[in-house]
Amino acid sequence: MTQPLLRLTGLTKAYPGVVANSDVSFNINAGEVHALLGENGAGKSTLVKMIYGLVKPDTGSMALNDAPFAPPAPSAARQSGVAMVFQHFSLFEALNVAENIALGMENAPKQRDLAAKIKEVSHQYGLPLDPYMRVGDLSAGERQRVEIIRCLLQNPKLLIMDEPTSVLTPQEVEILFKTLRQLKSEGTAILYISHKLEEIRSLCDTATILRLGKKVATCTPADTSAKELAEMMVGETLHVPERAAGDFGDVLLNVQNLSLPAPSEFGTALKDVNFEVRAGEILGIGGVAGNGQDELLGALSGEVSSKNAVGLRGRDISKLGPQQRRALGVLAAPEERLGHAAVPDMSLTENALLSAAVRKDMMRSGFLHWGKAKDYAQEVIEAFDVRTPGPANAARSLSGGNLQKFVIGREVLQDPDVLIVNQPTWGVDAAAAAAIRQSLMDLAAKGAALIVISQDLDELMEISDHFAALNEGRLSAIRPVQGLSVEEIGLMMGGVHSGVEGAA
Amino acid sequence: MIRLEKRAQPSQFWTFATPFLAVIMTMIVGGIMFAALGSDPFEAIRTIFWDPLFSEQFAAYSRPQLLVKAGPLILIAIGLSLGFKAGIWNIGAEGQYIIGAICGAGMGLAFYPSESFVIFPLMILAGALGGWAWAMIPAVLKVRFGTNEILVSLMLVYVAENLLASVSSGLLKNPDGMGFPGSRNLQQYPAAANLEIFQSTGMHWGVLSAFIAVIFAYALLSRHMFGFQIRLAGEAPRAARFAGVRPSRIVFLCLGIAGALAGMAGMFEVAGPAGQITIDFNSGYGFTAIIVAFLGRLHPIGILFAGLLMALTYIGGELASLMLGIPSAAIQLFQGMLLFFLLATDVFINFRIRFSKREVV
């Protein structure tokens, strides 16, 4: 293999105020799994968008099989054999698998033929999928398979995968890796974007590391330790959180027999959830996305009221709304940053007011104190190193990681007694994730009770004292984190979703 | 090749500039339309925008008319804008305006011929309550059964129009009116009349209320938690719920305020410029106020100016059809263009235009 499949030469792309990529050059060979590593804002997304034809480079060139390659649109990229699986799926929940796949095709065959083709491909690559299942009924892992099979039907030469494992159970990750290795053996090149260093070390042949838009190095991950990789990526030594093992205090939050109907056709019903959290304790709740995480957060934050199910220091608060719970010290940070935790088109000052009005005294008999809101936004920006020109900027102008720091910081700095967070470090780079985790642990050390809902098991293992998993709205037994193995966790997470092979 | 590129932040400049750009584009395209209809476009535009205010011949009559027409438009549009900001689409202000007028006039006529000073304040109250009650119908149906407030409020306009026809030839018919439909003329009943506060300025109590509403709405939206909640509900419903906003409360309050203000506008109109309840009392203020609300960017100060501008096109339009024989349909089209161009130019707020040559592959 002397001639690379895709050659990138001096790619540069600047946006107003920021250079996303600066003179990036590397090669991807056929049959190679090539990792693209970097912090948030390092320019990974922009780079793959250029390859996929979504963004045009300012300077620099690409060559596919030695022929100049400059796709004006994703359809052109697909025709040249470049396919991409996005981190956020573009699927219609109300349509079935085959219909969804047909929608993305230029000349879609008949349903029946397509279904047969889907079955064949899914079998061939060990990705079991029923073409007639409604996408709304599928787990996140299964939805990802739909996206992968959509790509595979085009016989791609290069498959780009953007953080594919962030929504998968350990078992599903194994299945995915088997598929990727099979594709590799057939000569397909894979460009694999991830934050998870161990994953990259076990799967990828080559890794290119980006930092602040520039290529730092291309190396062989198998010969490089995770620590070295992380250091190249971050440019500074990783801050590994530590916490002193302490005794827990009184029970702050207790939940008993919490059952709630599904909020919508595609939501999950909560079924008889029971747990309690003590002062100083972090309860980690794992589980595959869509198993009741959002619903649980809503019931705890007060967005959804329940009946005699949620208690704070023995007092029933299940009928109270979010503002009343905040006044009592129960705070929450939802998973969806834009549109739930923050309003995209509003400034950071306004977004600070969103959840901090009560506790930070920004309101006098209904009238708002904007000065205090602005000061508080500034305080969060400084304390959590949120990179933005200032509190007057709109939430949507921040990168995902920076907005996440703002959202978490906004809650943490209000000194809550109980804090519930969902996916605190989703899509956040390693340095920022470590800072967020450390702030959560500091909060617990000060005597707050924390509930951390996350799909990142490493994260939960690192910071929680106790662990439980959500599966189809049910909460597993709560176990101390010490001594838990990944296999046990996998079993706690249930894994009984249709089609996951190898699960008990 | 022209491309649209999304801005990182909404542009401050274009937020203010688009209304002006829309007015200019309306003048240009409207001028072409007038030319096609055989009138001199420059004269037509001048007649619409300039003559009502500054011509020696007409200004004395039309300048006070500016406030008379703008008052109800602004009052209604302020109420509507709160709902529109929250994503609640009350299209039925015209109906709430009619019911407010009926209730207000009914209250006044019930006391006829008493001269008590409480009559006028009671009429204001009755008008506001009537409009509020009419708006509560779509609100309750929406919260209780999830119906679409656009359809319900719009349909209720036609119900209100039929009620208006019924009372003007029945319940509220002038007993001394020699059988003609229509109520007593409230302007000839001093205790119930909505008189000018300053002589021949057009400034009646309804116009004053509109100005007060502008100030209140401004304070509400920029300084008060409820205004913040309205904006939250409109921009990100989930985030609003996270902030503790109860959606049903927003529905009731927004529709209620809009209904009450529209009802008041109707009452001031019937007790003032119109004088009496007649079958064709309503003249479309409730619908035009929707344009005014958007033309003013749903911002209270913007609505104030948009209401004045819209009133100007009304008066100028009448003048143009009178003096130049431009059909009234063309004038309506001209007003419609204003909204059309405003919505079209809105794209500049969130996007920038990039001209780029198609690259040679």
Q: Which of A302, A339, A367 sits opposite B236 (nearest CB)?
A: A339
Alpha-carbon torsion, ordered A487, A491, A497, A499, to 10 deg: 40
Backbone angles phi, psi at A434, to 5 degrees: -60, -40
Chain B residues close to A367, C-beta within 8 Å: 223-225
* Neighbouring C-beta atoms of residue A132, cutoff 10 Å: 12
* Neighbouring C-beta atoms of residue B31, cutoff 10 Å: 18
Do B225 and A363 make contact, defined as CB atoms within 8 angstroms?
Answer: yes
From A290, A316, A322, A319, select the one nearest A303 (Cα to Cα).
A322
Residue-level pLDDT at A214:
87
Question: Does a structural domain hold residue B330?
Answer: no
Q: CB of B8 within 8 Å of any CB in chain A?
A: yes
At B148-185, the pLDDT tens digits run 999 999 999 999 999 999 999 888 888 888 878 888 88
The pair of structure tokens assigned to B18 is 């688009």
Chain A residues close to B232, C-beta within 8 Å: 343, 354
Question: Does a structural domain hold residue B88?
Answer: yes
Q: CB of B176 within 8 Å of any CB in chain A?
A: no
pLDDT band for B190, please (50, 70, 90 cuts): confident
Chain A residues close to B86, C-beta within 8 Å: none
Chain A closest-CA separation from residue B87 CA (Å):
15
The pair of structure tokens assigned to A11 is 């790619």
- CA gap B50, B43 in Å, rounded: 10
- CA gap A42, A21 in Å, rounded: 8
Can you tell me which residue has the tokens 């990828």? A204
A503 has pLDDT over 50: no
| E strand residue ranges, chain B | 2-6, 351-355
Do A340 and B225 make contact, defined as CB atoms within 8 angstroms?
Answer: no
At A163-185, the pLDDT tens digits run 887 777 777 888 889 999 999 99
Helices marked H in A125-169 — which ranges?
A: 140-152
**A residues 362-401 lying closer than 8 A (beta carbon) to B:** 363, 366-368, 370, 393-394, 396-397
Q: CB of A355 within 8 Å of any CB in chain B?
A: yes
ipTM above 0.85, yes or no: no
B163 SS3 class: helix
More confident residue, B77 or A143: B77
Do A342 and B239 make contact, defined as CB atoms within 8 angstroms?
Answer: yes
Lowest-confidence region among A383-387, A395-399, A455-459, B58-62: A455-459
Do A355 and B241 make contact, defined as CB atoms within 8 angstroms?
Answer: no
* Percent with pLDDT over 90 in chain A: 38
Do A345 and B241 make contact, defined as CB atoms within 8 angstroms?
Answer: no
Can you tell me which residue has the tokens 């930070």? A360
Question: Does a structural domain hold residue B323?
Answer: no
Do B224 and A367 make contact, defined as CB atoms within 8 angstroms?
Answer: yes
What DSSP assignment string belongs to B104-152? HHHHHHHHTT---TTHHHHHHHHHHHHHHHHHHHHHHHHHHH---HHHH
Do B235 and A344 make contact, defined as CB atoms within 8 angstroms?
Answer: yes
At B104-125, the pLDDT tens digits run 999 999 988 888 899 999 999 9
Using CA coordinates, name the residue in chain A closest to B350.
Answer: A345
Do B361 and A16 make contact, defined as CB atoms within 8 angstroms?
Answer: no
The pair of structure tokens assigned to A22 is 């600066």
Domain A6-234 in CATH: superfamily?
P-loop containing nucleotide triphosphate hydrolases (3.40.50.300)
Question: Does a structural domain hold residue B123?
Answer: yes
pLDDT band for A17, please (50, 70, 90 cuts): low
Q: Which of B236, B241, B361 sits opposite A70 (nearest CB)?
A: B361
Does domain A251-337+415-503 fall into CATH 3.40.50.300? yes
Backbone angles phi, psi at A21, to 5 degrees: -135, 140
What are A164's strand-pairing partners? none
- CA gap B263, B274 in Å, rounded: 15
Angle CA(A336)–CA(A304)–CA(A411) in degrees, nearest 5?
A: 50
Q: CB of B225 within 8 Å of any CB in chain A?
A: yes
- CA gap B126, B108 in Å, rounded: 9
Q: CB of B238 within 8 Å of any CB in chain A?
A: yes
Q: CB of A76 within 8 Å of any CB in chain B?
A: no
Residue-level pLDDT at A347:
94
Residue-level pLDDT at B331:
87
Q: Which of B225, B243, B359 sits opposite A355 (nearest CB)?
A: B243
pLDDT band for A254, please (50, 70, 90 cuts): very high
CA count, 13 A, side-chain hemisphere, A248:
16
Return the residue in A350, A368, A399 with the most chain B beta carbons within 10 A, the one to mutate for interface testing: A368
Do B225 and A68 make contact, defined as CB atoms within 8 angstroms?
Answer: no
Do B242 and A345 make contact, defined as CB atoms within 8 angstroms?
Answer: no
More confident residue, B250 or A486: B250
Return the residue in B242, B354, B360 with the most chain A beta carbons within 10 A, the one to mutate for interface testing: B242
Chain B residues close to A350, C-beta within 8 Å: 228
Do B236 and A326 make contact, defined as CB atoms within 8 angstroms?
Answer: no
Report in angstroms the alpha-carbon separations of A288 from A284, A293, B191, B239.
13, 9, 72, 23
What are A64's strand-pairing partners? A6, A67
- At position B360, the amino acid (one-letter code) is V
From A478, A458, A482, A481, select the one nearest A470 (Cα to Cα).
A478
Question: Does a structural domain hold residue B346?
Answer: no
Do A393 and B235 make contact, defined as CB atoms within 8 angstroms?
Answer: no
Return the residue in A345, A354, A370 with the most chain B beta carbons within 10 A, the one to mutate for interface testing: A354
Using CA coordinates, name the residue in chain A closest to B232.
Answer: A343
Range of the domain at B172: 74-296
Q: Which of A302, A339, A394 sits opposite B239 (nearest CB)?
A: A339
- Mean per-residue pLDDT of chain B: 90
Q: Supply the Cα-derived Rg of chain A in whole angstroms.
A: 23
Quick check: A353 and B228 in contact, CB under 8 A?
yes
Do B238 and A396 make contact, defined as CB atoms within 8 angstroms?
Answer: no
* Neighbouring C-beta atoms of residue A458, cutoff 10 Å: 12
From A336, A440, A439, select the one nearest A395 (Cα to Cα).
A336
Q: Which of B225, B235, B243 sits opposite A345 (nearest CB)?
A: B235
Residues whose CB is less than 8 angstroms from the CB of residue A89 and which lie 6 or more positions away in sequence, other chains included: A143, A144, A146, A147
Residue-level pLDDT at B182:
86
**Domain ranges in chain A with CATH number 3.40.50.300:** 6-234, 251-337+415-503
Do A368 and B8 make contact, defined as CB atoms within 8 angstroms?
Answer: no
- CA gap A501, B7 in Å, rounded: 46
Do B242 and A16 make contact, defined as CB atoms within 8 angstroms?
Answer: no
Quick check: A87 and A78 in contact, CB under 8 A?
no
A495 has pLDDT over 50: no
**Bond before A221 cis per omega within 30 degrees:** no
Question: Does a structural domain hold residue B68?
Answer: no
Chain A residues close to B9, C-beta within 8 Å: 393-394, 396-397
At B291-344, the pLDDT tens digits run 899 888 899 999 999 999 999 988 998 888 888 888 889 888 988 898 889 888
Number of separate domains in chain B: 1
Q: CB of A79 within 8 Å of any CB in chain B?
A: no
At A346-374, the pLDDT tens digits run 999 999 999 999 999 998 888 999 999 99
Question: Does a structural domain hold residue B357?
Answer: no
Can you tell me which residue has the tokens 């590397």? A26
A vs B: CB pairs below 8 A: 78
Chain A residues close to B359, C-beta within 8 Å: 56, 70, 72
* Percent with pLDDT over 90 in chain B: 55
